[in-house]
Amino acid sequence: MTAANLPSYASGTSTTPLLGDTIGENLARTAARFADRTAVVECASGRRLRYAEFDAAVDGLSRGLVALGLQAGDRAGIWAPNGIDWMLVQYATARVGVILVTINPAYRSHELGYVLAQSGVAVLFSAVTHKGSDYRAMVDEVAGDCPDLKHVVYLGESSWDEVVAAGQAVPIEIVRGIAAGLDPDDPINIQYTSGTTGFPKGATLTHHNILNNGYFVGELCHYTERDVVCVPVPFYHCFGMVMGNLASTTHGACLVIPAPGFDPADTLRAVQQERCTSLYGVPTMFIAELSLPDFADYDLSSLRTGIMAGSPCPTEVMKRVVADMGMTEVTICYGMTETSPVSTQTRIGDTLEQQTGTVGRVHPHVQVKVIDPATGRIVPRGTTGELCTRAYSVMRGYWQQPDKTAEVLVNGWMHTGDLAVMDAEGYLSIVGRSKDMVIRGGENVYPREVEEFLYQHADIEDVQVVGVPDERYGEELLAAIRVRAGSQLSEQDVRDFCRGRLAHFKVPRYVQFVDEYPMTVTGKVQKYRIRDAAVQRLGL
């Protein structure tokens, strides 16, 4: 069969079985094997815990949760930037079956109140302040509208110490008994997906979902107990807490927290000081690190691997990560919160073209297919369609929203809303969001293709392409460009660069030079906000 005759379907076969334990059991097993190895380093405070110490601290907080009256299936929220205490809450709740509701640190009172009430959070672990925001004031503002909220514990304050102290009256045997009664298929995490309209939805994930996804992400990065993983991406999101924390603890690796929030210099300093072998980030984070004036002064020679994910990875950026940061075994991951998150990943040893031009092949124990959104039928390889995933990793559903769940979960298949192409070897390329696709005068234009082309211009550091309304063609393209420091680039220069090399309907009609993009806290560019601002500014 030729590639054109093959269906866009792939199944991830593996001789490595899925893990059948809970997160708490898995951590205890790792701690027993690697008791004296460093589990986690918090660079901001200098705090370091060995696996035996980390596991004991998890036990102590677990006893405190029981002392507060929490039972398996109850919800505890965490609203804070990255730190060791965040991880202790993650593993302690899992150990006693309490469902952890991870809350975006960028949320404000309106969103916080919605999440606490919608998920029925009984105990909230909160930062006191972060980036100038008064978390306590916002908690006080919404607490009266959250009838299930019984306790608020502030990280770094006496309320935290009081919970741990209260737990000392709870025999450890009680925690062991609760842990033994848990099932890997129990829900253990609710992650609210950042919606562009309306309120976010709570993807409900199990031990089995996220423990295995973290494990296999680490397997494909070839992690062992000798790896040191630098995680500057936020823990509240799957990228941090699953691909970072769980990938590390399932392999006995050391996890390094460079700072509470992302800072490019702090990140590279942590890599240098802790001799990190792996570094995570979304493309904008790597761009920020590579753009530091003193980038060449950092010793990054320990780096071997890492993960770039969260949004499409520009080819030119990936080439610099490999060449200038020494991350020759870097992998690209693709997924979504609803799939725990990773469904595809490039492999160590893949060609540079596969590393830079695709999001890899299907993950172990996962199925993917590319379908015609109109008919639901699988399209031939080489044809664009919507990517769908079915696996152990697919969420239970959206918390208490069966109608929203039914919109995206059909016969076990999660419909991603992403447009993809599968090649003859099963590698997938994401060409855009189905809603991001621009239709100009009847021609389908995928912004990713235009962005990749513009990245080749020596003066362009970053670019985002969106569609804006047009009376004649329906839509036109707008390119929002960040230029390299010291560069002089005009709108006409950009159009001249495109002409003769791109089809006329792919040449941006509008060019806008910007200093920064509107972002989510995970570093994803919010294209809808670029589009909305442009519509208003241009009077479209």
Provide the 10 A C-beta neighbour count for residue 535. 14
- Burial code of 186-217, b = ≥16 C-beta within 10 A, e = fewer? bbbbbbbebeeeeebbbbbbbbbbbbbbbbbb
Task: Give the pLDDT of residue 195.
Answer: 46
Q: What is the pLDDT along the chain (540 residues), one digit of tens a residue?
A: 556 679 999 999 999 999 999 999 999 999 999 999 999 999 999 999 999 999 999 999 999 999 999 999 999 999 999 999 999 999 999 999 999 999 988 888 888 999 999 999 999 999 999 988 899 999 999 999 999 999 999 999 999 999 999 999 999 999 999 999 999 999 999 999 864 335 679 999 999 999 999 999 999 999 999 999 999 999 999 999 999 999 999 999 999 999 999 999 999 999 999 999 999 998 889 989 999 999 999 999 999 999 998 766 777 888 899 999 999 999 999 999 999 999 999 999 998 889 888 999 999 999 999 999 889 999 999 999 999 999 999 999 999 999 999 999 999 999 998 889 999 999 999 887 776 778 787 676 778 878 988 999 999 999 999 999 988 777 899 999 999 999 999 999 999 999 878 878 889 999 999 999 998 766 778 888 999 999 999 999
Task: Give the pLDDT of residue 196.
Answer: 38
Beta pairing partners, 398: 203
> What are 136-140's contacts with CB under 8 Å, separation 24+?
138/108, 138/109, 138/112, 139/112
Residue 301 in tokens: 């020679």
* Alpha carbon separation from 367 to 73, 425, 427 (Å, rounded): 29, 15, 13
The values of phi and psi at residue 357, to 5°, are -105, -5
Helix 283-290 crosses helix 264-274 at what angle (to 10 degrees)?
Answer: 80
pTM score: 0.85
Task: Give the pLDDT of residue 446.
Answer: 75
In three-state form (DSSP H/G/I as H, E/B as E, the rest C), the secondary structure along 124-154 is EEECCEECCEEHHHHHHHHHCCCCCCCEEEE
Task: Give the pLDDT of residue 439.
Answer: 76
* Dihedral angle of Cα 65, 71, 73, 76, to the nearest 10 degrees: -30
Task: Give the pLDDT of residue 357.
Answer: 84
Task: Give the pLDDT of residue 474.
Answer: 78
The CA-CA-CA angle for residues 487, 490, 496, to 5°, reads 115
* Dihedral angle of Cα 385, 386, 392, 393, to the nearest 10 degrees: 130
* Alpha carbon separation from 78 to 189, 381, 501 (Å, rounded): 11, 43, 50
The CA-to-CA distance between both ends of the chain, in Å, stands at 49
CA distance 492 to 498: 10
Task: Give the pLDDT of residue 325.
Answer: 98
Q: How many whole angstroms from its chain centre is CA 501? A: 34
Question: Where does residue 313 rank: exposed (0-12), middle (13-18), buried (19+ CB within 10 A)?
Answer: buried
For the chain, the maximum distance between any two Cα atoms, rounded to a whole number of angstroms, is: 75
Residue 407 in tokens: 């919109």
Task: Give the pLDDT of residue 2.
Answer: 58
Domains of the chain as residue ranges with CATH: 23-422 (3.40.50.12780), 436-538 (3.30.300.30)
The CA-CA-CA angle for residues 207, 188, 333, to 5°, reads 60
